[in-house]
Amino acid sequence: KMFVGGLNWETTDESLRQYFAQFGEVADCVVMRDPATGRSRGFGFLTMLDTNVVDTIVSQDHYLDGKRIDPKRAIPREEQEKTEKIFVGGISAEVDEEEFREFFTRFGKVTDATLMTDRDTGRPRGFGFITFESSNGVDEALRHPMLSIKGKPVNILSLSLYIYLRAYLEKSTFFPSPIF
């Protein structure tokens, strides 16, 4: 599996698949989209049928839909550090910490719930972290990608994927400002 960053906002699952088909058969391909707007989030995931071509792909420069894209080998789920924590983005300012905690108890025992606030103003920043008693809570929450809290869709990422994406986006010139 490969992570592909730097995608043009107009890149589709199909155009991504067609581009990488020149290297071999594409087993699976998805451009990640914002659940609320349906707009591209500027990255996607790709699985090649022949895993031997991945080294060739990541060693070359790639341009798709007028943009330089950045394919990287994804860290297999079983190799990722098991975590009990998830990142939750897109949280409404009306949600308090108790409601936030309570919402996620359906997936497992929650040991900590933290909504991030601006240091200077104290206003909500629209994201937070949930810590479960075990990684089973994380796995269960991630099985439900289309969640809404108080009618507002939220994004959920495992903490390891959040850290990976944040590091990628902070060093990327693709986004003019951090999205997290």
DSSP assignments along 73-102, one per residue: EPPPGGGSPP-SEEEEE---TT--HHHHHH
Please give the Cα distance from 4 to 19 (Å, whole number).
Answer: 12
Q: Write the CB contacts of 35 (distance below 8 Å, at least 6 apart in sequence).
A: 145, 146, 153, 155
Residue 34: per-residue pLDDT:
80
CATH fold label, 2-74: Alpha-Beta Plaits (3.30.70)
177 backbone dihedrals φ, ψ, rounded to 5° = -145, 160
Residue 38: per-residue pLDDT:
84
Domain borders along the chain are: 2-74, 85-165
Residue 36: per-residue pLDDT:
77
The answer to whether 62 and 120 have CB atoms below 8 angstroms apart is no
Residue range 85-165 forms a domain whose CATH class is alpha beta
Question: Would you say the CATH fold of 85-165 matches that of 2-74?
Answer: yes
Tokens of 54: 């991945």
Residue 166 burial by CB count (10 A; 0-12/13-18/19+): exposed, middle or buried?
middle
Residue 132: per-residue pLDDT:
94
Q: Over its length of 180 residues, how does the chain's per-residue pLDDT go in tens digits?
A: 898 988 999 999 999 999 999 999 999 899 988 877 888 888 999 999 998 899 899 999 999 999 999 898 876 555 455 678 998 999 999 999 999 999 999 999 999 999 998 888 888 999 999 999 988 998 899 888 789 999 999 988 887 777 766 766 666 544 444 444
Helix (H, G, I), strand (E, B) or coil at 148: strand
Residue 49 burial by CB count (10 A; 0-12/13-18/19+): exposed, middle or buried?
exposed
The answer to whether 43 and 100 have CB atoms below 8 angstroms apart is no
